[in-house]
Amino acid sequence: MKRKTVLVIMFVALAILFAVIQAVKHPLNRSRTFPAARAQGQGKVVIEIEPGDNLTKVALKLKENWVISNEKIFVLLGELQGADKKLQAGEYEFDQSMSMASVLKILVSGKQRYYHLVIPEGYNKWDIAHEVDVMWPGKGENFLALCSDQAFISKLGLNVKDLEGYLYPDTYFVRKFDTPEKLIQRMVDNFNDSWKPEYEQKAIDLKLTRNDVITIASIVEKEAGLHEEKPMVAAVIYNRLKLKMPLCMDPTVIYGMMPQFNGNITRTDLATYTPYNTYKIKGLPPSPICNPGKNAIKAALWPAKVNYLYFVARGDGSHVFSTNYADHVKAVSEYQKFRAEQELELQQAASVGETVNPEPEKKPGE
């Protein structure tokens, strides 16, 4: 009797083992009717594993989406591999033809779905907070709070009052349940990696702190649209500082009005004192006004060797640089008149529903 019992148990165990092996090796029965994704020939589904989900709950989600056929066998196999202790919250993409072994490999490795978070050069913390809100609704405010959280900033190893200037512009690969803290850590790590030893030595040679350099770079980033002009804009800043002239840079005034700035800067704004209004203060503003990229930082460290004190925008992204006020006034008059004529032409065209053609019309045969 005992021998028969042992044989029965062994047979059942072998049957279960065989079933598990088959389930692991082979995908779902192809003759089954799959959801719309399969019908459309895609066969890929995204499963969201939330914080606190256990292996059983994950298995049910996988079965409901036709990724696995038997959740009990999946849980058993997962426990044998220790997957229940390695689950990470996030979004995972699976093909509905995958074997259980492949599904478990993705889960155990934490191979999650990533998104691109693009932070352009010159974005300030409010710009970045907006992108954070788009990616993780409701977390933009938390991001902004962390930017001035002294305890958090100290943990990052920075001796600054605010993280503006140190949120390095780049393309970041982020996941569903990443936190603003984790994103900021990566941004600051990127900044630290970009700040090379020769940069530190050059800042010492210039008798400037790193924060001074990043502040200058942030102004350069906002003022210069062309990379090749950044060293010249930096030179204007240094030349004015040397002569103890106010910098008179509009982007600093705008930053002092943030986040209430409505997009239009007025004479009243230029005449209103803030610590960032470089029409009213001499020297640099107290901190960076955006997060500069590597070209602006290099320009701040190695400005062009020119005597320019003024520049005015041409309207095409480039500037006219001048060494004296008379030439500057002439350039301002010329290009402001040109821009005013362009704006008037556009307004007139818009009023009659026309599109301005920048090229002269050609007569037939020309």
Q: Is residue 250 part of a domain?
A: yes
Q: Is residue 161 part of a domain?
A: yes
* pTM recorded for the entire structure: 0.78
pLDDT at 339: 56
Task: Tell me which residue range forms the domain holding 216.
Answer: 197-350
Express each pLDDT in 260-284 by its tens digit: 999 999 999 999 999 999 999 999 9
Instruction: Mark which of 81, 109, 137 sits at the end of a domain.
Output: 109
pLDDT at 122: 98
Express each pLDDT in 72-117 by its tens digit: 988 998 888 888 888 888 899 999 888 898 999 998 888 899 999 9
Beta strands in 53-202 (DSSP E): 90-95, 115-118, 171-174
Same domain as 139, residue 167: yes
User: Are residues 277 and 268 in contact, defined by beta-carbon separation less than 8 angstroms?
Assistant: no
Q: Is residue 365 part of a domain?
A: no
Instruction: Mark which of 194, 218, 249 sits at the end of a domain.
Output: 194
Domain count, the chain: 3
pLDDT at 128: 98
Q: Is residue 8 part of a domain?
A: no
Instruction: Mark which of 94, 109, 124 sits at the end of a domain.
Output: 109
Beta strands in the chain (DSSP E): 44-49, 90-95, 115-118, 171-174, 310-313, 319-322
Same domain as 226, residue 318: yes
pLDDT at 2: 54
Nearest to 294 by CA among 241, 229, 209, 230: 230
User: Are residues 289 and 276 in contact, defined by beta-carbon separation less than 8 angstroms?
Assistant: yes
pLDDT at 25: 45
Same domain as 151, residue 282: no
Quote the CA–CA distance of 225 and 95 in Å, as a whole number: 45
Q: Is residue 18 part of a domain?
A: no
pLDDT at 85: 85
- Below-50 pLDDT ranges, the chain: 1, 4-16, 18-42, 340, 342-344, 346-366
Same domain as 225, residue 83: no
pLDDT at 159: 94
Same domain as 229, residue 104: no
Quote the CA–CA distance of 40 and 45 in Å, as a whole number: 12
Query: Taking the chain, what is the end-to-end CA distance rounded to the nearest angstrom?
Result: 109
pLDDT at 317: 86
User: Are residues 197 and 210 in contact, defined by beta-carbon separation less than 8 angstroms?
Assistant: no
Q: Is residue 145 part of a domain?
A: yes
pLDDT at 334: 85
- Token digits of residue 298: 């290099």
Same domain as 278, residue 236: yes
Same domain as 211, residue 150: no
